[in-house]
Amino acid sequence: MTAVTAQNRGEQYSCYMEHTIQSSCVTCDFRPNRLFCDMPAESLKAFDEIKSLGSYPRSTILFAEGRPVRGIYLLCDGRAKLSICSDTGKRLTLRVAGPGEVLGLGATLSNTPYEITAELLDNSQVVFVRRKDLMKFLREHREVCMEVVRMLSQDLHGAYERVRSIGMIRTRHARIMFHPRAMVV
């Protein structure tokens, strides 16, 4: 078994590559440490029934920006690069997602095309849940639905923080560029 540690926003994620297969969420050792996975036993059993688990090689595109939504992807292990295409056609990396993160959640709930592209950076185990099955599951398991609301709220606040930090960097850069003593003659 090969342990790999990846840094993501100051947190450490320990993941085991394709050598360890966790076929059931109920028996997964990592479940208590992961926000979405830490559900009541009844909900976990129901989730196991609607998910499909697959092992994918590095560089696999789970979903692409602008493509019709199919459902959510849950990273069991490995990492995924989340990117978006700029106005000039250049690919911009938004962040790197780690084990336990749910990808495509906003698009799936709103039934709109994926807003970003998710590409695996490692060989990974990934759970997929079709949109139709997820919606039924959330209606029947209200406590999980509330957890999804919290996750979306955290995503929104994270996006605010990234925009704020980009704005601050640009403001500082502009002050330096246009400060009278910084002018180069």
Please give the chain's pLDDT, 185 residues, in tens. Answer: 333 333 343 333 333 333 445 566 666 665 556 656 777 788 888 988 999 999 999 999 999 999 999 999 999 889 999 999 988 889 999 999 999 899 999 999 999 999 999 999 999 999 999 999 999 999 999 888 888 888 888 877 777 787 777 766 666 655 555 555 555 54
DSSP code of residue 111: T
Query: Partners of 83 in the beta sheet?
Result: 93, 117
Q: How far is CA 156 from CA 65, 91, 120, 150, in A?
A: 18, 21, 23, 10
pLDDT of residue 165: 76
| Neighbouring residues of 162: CB distance < 8 A, sequence distance ≥ 6 | 94, 95
User: Alpha-carbon distance 12 to 164, whole Å?
Assistant: 24
pLDDT of residue 106: 92
Residue whose C-alpha is closest to residue 166's, from 101, 92, 69: 92
Q: How far is CA 92 from CA 57, 58, 78, 89, in A?
A: 22, 19, 20, 9
Tokens read off for 19 = 């050598």
User: Alpha-carbon distance 70 to 54, whole Å?
Assistant: 16
Q: Hey, what domains does the chain have and what are their CATH numbers?
A: 3-182 (2.60.120.10)
Residue whose C-alpha is closest to residue 54's, from 38, 29, 76: 76
